[in-house]
Amino acid sequence: MEETLYLKGEQIKDVNQYDFPGLKKALNIGQENIIAEIKKSGLKGRGGAGFPTGLKWDLARQQDSDQKYMICNGDEGEPGTFKDRYLMEERPLKVLEGIIIGAYASGASEGYVYIRGEYTDAIKIFNKVIEEAEEAGVLGENILDSSFSFNLKLIKGAGAYVCGDETSLINSIEGKRGSSRIKPPYPVAKGLYDKPTVVNNVETLTAAAEIINQGADSYTALGTENSRGTKLICLSGDVNEPGLYEVAFGQTTLKKIIDELGQGVKDNREMKFVIPGGISTALLEKENLDISYTYEDIEEAGSSLGSGAIIVVADGHNLVDLMLNVSRFFMDETCGTCFPCREGNRQVYHMLKETADNGGFSSEQLEIIEDIGDTIHLAARCGLGQTSLNFIKSVFANYKDELMEKGVNRC
């Protein structure tokens, strides 16, 4: 099986060597045509939520405001995800191009690229890119001799997972506590400093740059009706060849991705299950992996494509340890604002820990975890909370027998 190189294609890193073909074309065709092209391409947000990008830009463009902002979300924090890091380190000019096109289309004159603090290389590279782009006239006043002016600043994240949520990220840029805002109003209407703001994921913007460059048809030629184009996949866990791959939607299955791109399960072990979209998604059992890699097929199977992090888990891991690891992450990373997420994740962690020490869950504990899971899902304030127990709930749903009292099996 071959990768489909749409975003990963050859890329120049020197600003002076790169021609910014997408940006030039964008400045030429104007805001409305850019948005029409992106809408036509069917591009959806690649941060995990999958909101149509063209629509987002259009909503921001239609806002009547003296100031609008464009934010590139590079606060990649979902465990197992490293696609945005790759793009920012290896394809920074394409990312930059996407940011400027998005800004132009939605009418933003100021922008931020918010990069996860731990991504020191990406930060170094992007700092340099911004500086060189300013010198080359790709950023700043009258970009590429057009009438469009746009300034870009880099913000380093300070280590909070929740700041990957767009409203938390906006609070963070404003110097406030990183916690989600109540929506509506959505950022496109009232975002950074209460001005219309577009927040796009790194991969989304990179794809947008390529779509404008190659035309929407090049993108719609790939994928399915509901899942257009390609997706960067972060393959990790118990596979022989973990790494970053690009696949066209609908042209391969989860199983093939693991067996062919990943060269199968490590050390010839038996596979147990796969987490198809990062640790805030439900697991899929090994029997259910022969499904097409699209948003819709994975959803149909009861999980989500999420951010594109595929984590392969072989037999032999302690299920409670795995759950504890995930639970600890969410417990520590809840912003602390909404009660179900803060208290629910704390309680679930304590219950898992207790069981890890004592062996086996009681049916009452199981019921409580299920209740907490439903409550968080239905009532939490943001996506972090709503999805925080997806994985743990799915472990209980699939391996209940193994987990009941006196049954903490080595599986």
Answer yes or no whether residue 3 interacts with another protein by CB under 8 A.
no
Nearest-angstrom CA–CA distance, 115 and 54: 23
Q: Which of 19, 131, 217, 332 binds another protein (CB under 8 A)?
A: 332
Phi, psi values for residue 200, rounded to 5°: -125, 145
Answer yes or no whether residue 343 interacts with another protein by CB under 8 A.
yes
* DSSP codes, 18-63: ---HHHHHHHHH-HHHHHHHHHHHT-B-TTTT--BHHHHHHHHHHS
**Would you call 253 helix, strand, or coil by DSSP?**
strand
Answer yes or no whether residue 338 interacts with another protein by CB under 8 A.
yes
| Closer to another protein by Cβ: residue 36 or 379 | 379
- Length reported for the chain: 411
Phi, psi values for residue 372, rounded to 5°: -65, -40
For another protein, which stretch binds (CB under 8 A), given 71-79, 102-110, 113-121, 326-334?
326-334
Q: How far is the CB of 170 from another protein (least distance, A)?
A: 16
Site string for another protein, 236-275 (x = CB under 8 A): ----------------------------------------
For 37-74, letters b (16+ CB in 10 Å) and e give bbbbbbbbbbbbebbebbebbbbbbebeeeebbbbbbb
**CA max distance for the chain:** 72
Closest CA relative to residue 56, chosen from 189, 163, 145, 170: 189
Q: Is the dihedral of CA 49, 294, 202, 145 positive or negative?
A: negative
| Closer to another protein by Cβ: residue 279 or 331 | 331
Sites for another protein among residues 154-213 (CB under 8 A): 160, 162, 177-178, 182, 184
Q: How far is the CB of 340 from another protein (least distance, A)?
A: 5
Q: How many residues bind another protein (CB under 8 A)?
A: 35
Sites for another protein among residues 369-408 (CB under 8 A): 371-372, 374-375, 377-381, 386
| Closer to another protein by Cβ: residue 153 or 176 | 176
Q: How far is the CB of 261 from another protein (least distance, A)?
A: 33
Q: Which of 10, 64, 364, 401 binds another protein (CB under 8 A)?
A: 364
Which amino acid is residue 264, in one-letter code?
G
Answer yes or no whether residue 345 interacts with another protein by CB under 8 A.
yes
Q: How far is the CB of 388 from another protein (least distance, A)?
A: 11
End-to-end Cα spacing for the chain: 31
Answer yes or no whether residue 337 interacts with another protein by CB under 8 A.
yes
202, 87 contact by CB (below 8 A)? yes
391, 325 contact by CB (below 8 A)? no
Q: How far is the CB of 296 from another protein (least distance, A)?
A: 17
120 Cα distance to chain centroid: 19
Nearest-angstrom CA–CA distance, 161 and 330: 9
Q: Which of 301, 339, 366, 404 binds another protein (CB under 8 A)?
A: 339
Q: Which residue has the tokens 């899971």?
A: 373
The CA distances from residue 92 to 4, 113, 260, in Å, are 19, 11, 29
Q: How far is the CB of 345 from another protein (least distance, A)?
A: 7
Site string for another protein, 28-47 (x = CB under 8 A): --------------------
| Closer to another protein by Cβ: residue 288 or 345 | 345
| Closer to another protein by Cβ: residue 101 or 351 | 351
| Closer to another protein by Cβ: residue 294 or 387 | 387
Sites for another protein among residues 108-127 (CB under 8 A): none
Q: Which residues bind another protein (CB under 8 A)?
A: 160, 162, 177-178, 182, 184, 331-340, 342-347, 350, 364, 368, 371-372, 374-375, 377-381, 386
